[in-house]
Amino acid sequence: MRAATIATALIVCLLAGCGSDTSTTSSAAPARPATMILDFTPNAVHAGVYSALARYYDRAHGVRLHVIAPTASTDSIKLLETGKVDFAILDIHDLAIARQRGQDIVGVMAIVERPLSAVIAAPGVPSPKALPGKTVGITGVPSDTAVLRSIVAGGGGDPSKVKTITIGFNAVADLLTGRVAAATAFWNDEGQAIQSKRPGFHIFRVENYGAPAYPELVLTTTRRTLERDPGLTRDVVDALRQGYRFTVAHPAASATDLERLNPALDPKLVSAQLQGLLPAFRAADGGVGELNLATLRAWAAWEARFGIVPRPPDVARAFDPSLTATPASS
């Protein structure tokens, strides 16, 4: 939802930075460089990425991974398409929209196994059914309206009677001041932030109101990269899966990895966000990074039903689950 629409220019590091230290490279074949752009500024959802860097899992798989953050709303897809980055973490809705526009981008790994989209409502709004007639803030990206409609309808309300205004990424501030009665947001980010400031707000997760349990964020690459160098894609996926397996097993240590490589982060907020995210990192079988075709087909139907794209994405073309079919080493 919010992942590819970023209002403030934020550069975490340049292409030459944020990779693991060359001093620990083994004496075997030199690690191949690969660049990955995040969906947003680093936060707890990226803990596994930074553990993969901090613990040199990329080097163990023969890759020197560089991680950057986008500086504008279209960076990730644009840089993928032009070959300036090899991989990108995208919101799954942005992947669907990009493919609908003819861009052959392929999801190769789930970063989370659950939706992060939600509606956060004021203490006086106890359920989605109470939202009709009230003003709800949306960021302005296409998936916001779909998420809001799904949650209101799933809660027994009439989505057509909800008033919306575009507030960008000011959900927390506008909710606290009472400008809006509710707002679309991510439960792991704004949801944690607002609860830390003023408990009592309600968080309605889209998966609890009619949406399938789709993976909100996915690692993507172009089909050109996937076909030209499948080994590089597999190595990056394996390194990241190892990073997220470490996060699940050792969340405090993984949070430290993230904070050490991104010292501006608030450790208390990172800890709270990560604790909430831990179940979302795991697939039904306990694995990480997995792409489930049955779930993705249900997501594709939901995507079209609520108008994010005009027709269901072709799941067989949009995703390659083969790279996560077997457990990565830990």
CB neighbour list of residue 249: distance below 8 Å, 6 or more residues apart: 330
Tell me, what's the pLDDT at 304?
95
Tell me, what's the pLDDT at 45?
97
The dihedral formed by the CA atoms of 192, 194, 198 and 200, expressed in degrees to the nearest 10:
-70
Report the topology of domain 117-208: D-Maltodextrin-Binding Protein; domain 2 (3.40.190)
Q: What is the DSSP string of 151-168?
A: HHHHTT--GGG-EEEE-T
Residue 212 per-residue DSSP state: -
Whole-structure pTM value:
0.87
Q: What is the pLDDT along the chain (330 residues), one digit of tens a residue?
A: 454 444 333 434 433 345 554 334 444 568 999 999 999 889 999 999 999 999 999 999 999 999 999 876 567 899 999 999 999 999 999 999 999 999 999 999 999 999 999 999 999 999 999 999 999 999 888 789 999 999 999 999 999 999 999 998 899 999 999 999 999 999 999 999 999 999 999 999 999 998 999 999 999 999 999 999 999 999 999 999 999 999 999 999 999 999 999 999 999 999 999 999 999 999 999 999 999 999 999 999 999 999 999 999 999 999 999 999 855 544
Residue 108 · residue 213 · CB < 8 Å = no
Calculate Rg over the CA atoms of the chain: 19
Centroid of chain to Cα 67: 15
Residue 12 · residue 69 · CB < 8 Å = yes
Measure the CA angle with vertex 133, ends 118 and 158; round to 5°: 65
Q: State how far the alpha carbon of 148 is from the alpha carbons of 135, 216, 219, in Å.
A: 12, 16, 25
Write down the architecture of domain 22-114+214-324 according to CATH: 3-Layer(aba) Sandwich (3.40)
Q: Where are the domains of the chain?
A: 22-114+214-324, 117-208
4 φ, ψ (degrees, to nearest 5): -100, 15
Of 312, 52, 26, 89, nearest to 220 by C-alpha is 89
Distance, CA of 95 to CA of 220 (rounded, Å): 8
What does the block give as tokens for 1? 């939802």
Tell me, what's the pLDDT at 266?
94
Distance, CA of 13 to CA of 18 (rounded, Å): 6
Residue type, 329: S
CB neighbour list of residue 99: distance below 8 Å, 6 or more residues apart: 105, 313, 314, 317, 318
Same fold, 22-114+214-324 and 117-208: yes
Tell me, what's the pLDDT at 40?
86
Tell me, what's the pLDDT at 297?
97
